[in-house]
Amino acid sequence: MVNPPVMLARTAQTLLNVAAAGTLHPPLNVVISNVPGSPVPLYFCGARLEANYPLSVITDGMGLNLTILSYEDRIDFGIVGDREEVPDVWFLAEEVQHAFQELLDLVPRKAAPKKKAARKPKATRAA
């Protein structure tokens, strides 16, 4: 049985290779990928990974690539664009940030859990 992501990757690679050979234009101009990352902190030689900077490539005929990568409790966006197709990538980045904040504002906040009162040790009588 073929794994669907593997099949999709091979299909995309084949289409882009055919397009690069000049026989046809790529059937897409935007690629968006969402890569689930680690929900727990990662370390290398004792150093904690603080942030990820997702970055991908664009090929001939492709105008925009968005790569979204999660890590712990955050989501990072990598935006790469062809300046002829997307002349103001920074505007797109700002709009993504605004839209993400709008989504966060719609999510109800959980109340902080109430802390249990610390038990006082029972007094004991000295004999």
Residue 36, domain member (yes or no): yes
Residue 14, domain member (yes or no): no
Please state the domain count of the chain.
Answer: 1
- The Cα 75–Cα 99 span in angstroms is 13
Whole-number pLDDT of residue 42 = 93
- What pLDDT digit, counting tens, does each position of 73-121 carry? 888 888 998 888 888 889 988 998 899 899 989 988 776 566 655 555 5
- What pLDDT digit, counting tens, does each position of 23-61 carry? 556 667 888 888 888 999 999 999 999 888 888 888 777
* Residue 89: count of CB within 10 angstroms of its CB: 15
Residue 72, domain member (yes or no): yes
Whole-number pLDDT of residue 39 = 92
Residue 101, domain member (yes or no): yes
Backbone angles phi, psi at 53, to 5 degrees: -125, 90
Beta strand pairing call for 64-71 and 74-81: antiparallel
Residue 100's domain spans which residues? 28-106
pLDDT at 17 over 70: no
Query: Whole-model pTM above 0.75?
Result: no
Q: Which DSSP helix (H) or strand (E) runs through 95?
A: helix 89-106
- The Cα 44–Cα 23 span in angstroms is 45
